[in-house]
Amino acid sequence: MGGDLCTRVIRGGSWSKMEKRLNDVVSKSFIGSYFKLEARKSSFTGELRAATATFFTMAYIISVNATILSVSGGTCSAADCSPPATADCVLRSNAGYDACLAKTKSDLVVATVLSAMAASMAMGVLANLPFGLAPGMGSNAYFAFNLVGFHGTGSLSYETALAVVCVEGCAFFLASALGLRGKLAKFIPHSIRLASGAGIGLFIAFVGLQANQGVGLIGPDPSNLVTITACTNTDPNTGQCLGGKMQNPKFWLGLVGFLITCYGLMKNVKGSMIYGIIFVTCVSWFRDTKVTYFPNTPLGDESYNYFKKVVDFHKIESTLGAFSFTDFNRSEVWVALVTLFYVDVLATTGTMYTMAELGGFVDEQDGTFEGEYMAYLVDATGTIAGSALGVTTTATFIESTAGMREGGRTGLTAVIIGLFFLVSLFFTPLLTSVPPWAVGPSLVIVGVMMMKMVKDIDWSNMKEAVPAFATMILMPLTYSIANGIIGGIGLYVALRLYDYGVSAVKWVMKMRRMVVEEHNQVSAAATSVDSTVEMI
């Protein structure tokens, strides 16, 4: 009987009438006029559906970003290790250091959520664009694996690296305020721009295939550097396989999550990225299994007790304001600063303009879009604020297209996305209990998505193909985004030295001809004057 009533209500159009009345009320209110709902032919319910679609497609960044950044060790050090401890205790399993890492990951989850919430809401209110923002992929990998390194073994400390992000954000804000972002992007060779995105994708996928941050399919090998692992037993110091290759159940569970995500993307299911993570995570939450995330250890018991809270508000302790400018006299700092700025010019500027094009906001005559100036300022400010919280560069997410396909046309979509992030802030126990083998498949999928850029590279032209390939291959093989960029640009310049030399010679010859012609004209004029004088 209840089903018949619902059917009559739907057939009678009651829900449609209620939706129409709601949309009419909101459209005529201050909110509707501020966000220009009628002018952009949108509605409140349409913006709500759009925000929901975008949030579900980009929600994976909460756990993924925290997982990647926590690999750096954050502010944890050997001083946090349980005694007796040696200087290399950060590279081994140590109860005290692991507990510090767990707290750091919780801090980074909250920092990711807060930065995404603030940046998305600011984008909606100030620029009136339906874009979701959060700490971006690429810069977080460069920060964790190249600058700070695994558990702080890199060239910079976590505090110094955060200061680099802050300074880079300020430089980006200045470039945005002066209107230089688009012009700076044009200075970078087109093939290098495309290859950088694809190379970062390869790097991220490579990370997702390893054991510490992913599914554990790839591991070290004494003769071949890397090899297939997914072993049941590994050396705790070197990570080498000791037995049971391709028999680790956590890898196979991660593979199932990978296939779930792939099938969802194939069928255009919204939120496919998060569904694979949720499946693997939920299975890993059961204790006393071979794939559990809560082993029967003191740290596992502590993590499980926190997980059972489900709802909790976690205060940021270790990463908030963790700046240090004392090492800014080192060359590594300035290389990092230039590299981050370069990645920002490529990623954030290019992605935002692409989103504006897909949404139909770009003016075909002058190439600008409504709210462009404020949008650039918002994501630059988001980077500065994010660094204060402990995370890396804030960027517009390509997943915003999911919301625009659902009808998102105004900044109200971005504001609602920010509210969704606000709600997720209170589920920190669940968000911090996502295992690496659940996150790894998403990293591989991100790499797959970023590889589509290579189709626009002119592979028939060696002057374009060689630098592009070097950029892509050096990033994962040298485990450095900066090395790939430097190598690609270096080869690009080297392969054009002949062209530059020929152009310089042609310019000199042209100048010489002009001087000779001018000299001849002067001589002819002088001769004419002399002849006239003699005749007189």
Question: Which residue range forms the structural domain that includes residue 49?
Answer: 44-514
Give the mean pLDDT of 12-33.
Answer: 82
Give the tokens for residue 44.
């409140």
User: Which pTM does this prediction carry?
Assistant: 0.76
Reported as a single tens digit per residue, the pLDDT across 159-206 is 999 999 999 999 989 988 888 876 776 677 878 878 887 888 888 889
Cross-strand partners of 228 = 218
Reported as a single tens digit per residue, the pLDDT across 455-485 is 889 999 999 999 999 999 998 888 877 788 8
How many other β-carbons are positioned within 10 Å of the β-carbon of residue 266?
Answer: 9
Distance (Å, rounded) from C-alpha 174 to C-alpha 113? Answer: 25
Give the mean pLDDT of 236-263.
Answer: 86
Q: Does residue 295 fall inside a structural domain?
A: yes
Q: Does residue 93 fall inside a structural domain?
A: yes
Q: Does residue 90 fall inside a structural domain?
A: yes
Q: Report pLDDT for 10.
A: 47
**DSSP states along 75-136:** T--GGGSPSS--TTGGGS--HHHHHHHHHHHHHHHHHHHHHHHHHHHHIIIII-----EEEP
Q: Does residue 145 fall inside a structural domain?
A: yes
Please determine, for residue 9, whether its predicted confidence score (pLDDT) is greater than 50.
Answer: no
Q: Does residue 125 fall inside a structural domain?
A: yes
Reported as a single tens digit per residue, the pLDDT across 365-406 is 666 778 888 988 998 999 999 999 999 989 888 778 778 877
Give the tokens for residue 58.
């980009």
Strands 133-135 and 218-221, by their bridges, are unpaired
Peptide bond into 130 cis (omega under 30): no
Q: Does residue 11 fall inside a structural domain?
A: no
Closest CA to 226 of 214, 240, 236: 240
* Top-confidence range, 56-60, 79-83, 380-384: 380-384
Banded model confidence at residue 273, pLDDT cuts 50, 70, 90:
confident
- For the chain, the residue count is 536
Residue 286, CB half-sphere, CA atoms under 13 Å: how many? 9
Q: Report pLDDT for 2.
A: 46
Q: Report pLDDT for 109.
A: 92
How many other β-carbons are positioned within 10 Å of the β-carbon of residue 302?
Answer: 15
Phi-psi region at 395: left, alpha or beta (left = phi > 0; alpha = psi -120 to 50): beta
Please determine, for residue 3, whether its predicted confidence score (pLDDT) is greater than 60.
Answer: no
Banded model confidence at residue 439, pLDDT cuts 50, 70, 90:
confident
How many other β-carbons are positioned within 10 Å of the β-carbon of residue 362?
Answer: 18
Share of the chain above pLDDT 70, in %: 91
Q: Does residue 519 fall inside a structural domain?
A: no
Q: Report pLDDT for 15.
A: 72
Q: Does residue 25 fall inside a structural domain?
A: no
Q: Is 231 in contact with 212 (CB distance < 8 Å)?
A: no
Distance (Å, rounded) from C-alpha 389 to C-alpha 272? Answer: 29
SS3 73: coil
Give the mean pLDDT of 60-73.
Answer: 89
Q: Report pLDDT for 191.
A: 85
Strands 233-234 and 241-243, by their bridges, are antiparallel
Name the average pLDDT for the chain: 84
Domains: count for the chain: 1
Q: CA-based Rg of the chain, rounded to a whole angstrom?
A: 28
Closest CA to 61 of 115, 104, 101: 115
